[in-house]
Structure 1
Amino acid sequence: MTDSVKDKVIRIIAEQAMLEPSDIEMTQSLQDIGIDSLGLVESIFAIEEEFDIQVPFNANEPEASEFDISSVAAIVGAVEGLVAAQKS
């Protein structure tokens, strides 16, 4: 069985935070998990590579980005939207 977008995103975030995927909760922010700004950028690159998508993200101004990074759930939702848009 193939992993869902959610499972893949959680796996990428967990790897970046050096945690197990089971330790990641959808309501957590990346700061809660211990991911700093460099880790965020590395996570975005890993997500882009995993899903073959372009994330509209400005690492210098994450609050000004269209890509919501406020929580794990928001990141999963944003990636799901980009993946769906790519398929259409």
Structure 2
Amino acid sequence: MDLREKVIAIIADQAMLEPADVMPEQSPADLGIDSLGLVESIFAIEEAFDISVPFNANAPEESGFDISSVGAIVAAVERLVQDRHAAA
């Protein structure tokens, strides 16, 4: 399972959907994920990829982590994983 598939699987699990039903252009809200579910997804992503996501649930627009769509979340996780490998 590649990074993209893993992130989508985590989001799909939170939305109680099959990964095939999660499209990159959908927002977490489109998938029925509320703010608590989003935080749980972020924690699961951090654990799965051993990264620290710069996300503030109280001010998500200020966190620098794009949660506007599934595709944006995948891209942000890819950047964080690349940055972690570059720093290692």
State the TM bucket, normalised to the shorter chain: over 0.9
* Structure 1 residue corresponding to 2:62, chosen from 36, 45, 64: 64
Q: Where do 5+ consecutive residues of structure 1 fail to align? A: none
State how far apart, in whole Å, the 1-side matches of 2:21 and 2:51 are. Answer: 26
| TM-score (norm: length of structure 2) | 0.96
* Structure 2 residue corresponding to 1:35, chosen from 28, 33, 36: 33
1:49-69 alpha-carbon deviations (Å, 9 max, x no partner) = 000000000011111110000
Q: Where do 5+ consecutive residues of structure 2 fail to align? A: none
Q: Percent of aligned pairs with the same residue?
A: 67
| TM-score (norm: length of structure 1) | 0.96
DSSP-derived class of the 1:30 partner: coil
Equivalenced residues, count: 86
* Structure 1 residue corresponding to 2:72, chosen from 71, 74, 83: 74
Equivalent residue number for residue 11 of structure 2: 13
Letter of the structure 2 residue corresponding to residue 12 of structure 1: I
